[in-house]
Chain A
């Protein structure tokens, strides 16, 4: 028989299901499939142990004091999470597209991205729990790269008026990433939702009155800092919203 299907390999490694006789015959003689299962089993074992290291406490500040003394570096603690979270909340008028302020130095953007990466999960929890009623997912999309790349992502419409977007593996850029809703029937028609931090999640307000049946194609582009608000034409990820 041919090599085992990738889903079946995961079944055998992660879910402890047992191989049927035909599969056993193949596995006995195929070192490739054996190696795949063995690697997936190890990853699965390690994965099951990760629960205990999800929210590790930071070292006491005295450790940083020692590092600072030994290196001569005097860094301040990262920007409080609140300062990073605030720009992600829907603005009062909810209409304007949001962009990072042009004057923000790259380091600040990096700080924001770093803090978001660390507190990403926590932030989303805070954002969603702080806004009653609990956000209901009304549509979702899996975002796939347009060219061969490891970039990937997903998007969810929350409560009909916000789009939560998560992406990872985005290519390095000196510009920034921007999230759009496109009309797939006429891709010159689009609506910008705002910017997306590198390898983090963002919750962006969807302008009121936006018809998500028409503007149903989620697009993540890379934009240069050129002062031009139009789509760069350089799309990284796309996916269609479905209910």
Chain B
């Protein structure tokens, strides 16, 4: 499989949010604005690429029965690393995403890619797979965040275009997350089927 196809697969055919429906918890909770969605996506991308590479490198020597615990330890290490780095250098973003950064450990996309791809493929392919799926997640979250931000607070990437705080509040709250996600999923799959 070509490296390029690995990336487009992650973006479109295996899009974690709109096609595989993985990682719904951070998807619904952190996409209150485009910036938050983008940062959450990039944080996951970081963990995904590094854990995919590390896991594909050690997979040949990991005994079958303990492979899940070993993968989780590796993933948790990268997540904690990310957490420390964000606390030190981007405290504002860390605060906005809060609990959802440590929760990347149990994000099923990361363990899912480790199981389904990184454990059976080489380091380079796994890195590209991580980039593809991570970008897919990032784009989905940014789009979802953007739609919710436009409808909910009348702004785009923090730039307010209606002047004032009079958006449709429901879209910033949980019900709006479900509604937007549902409709975006319909749109995405409609174009995918064509």
A and B: partners? Answer: no
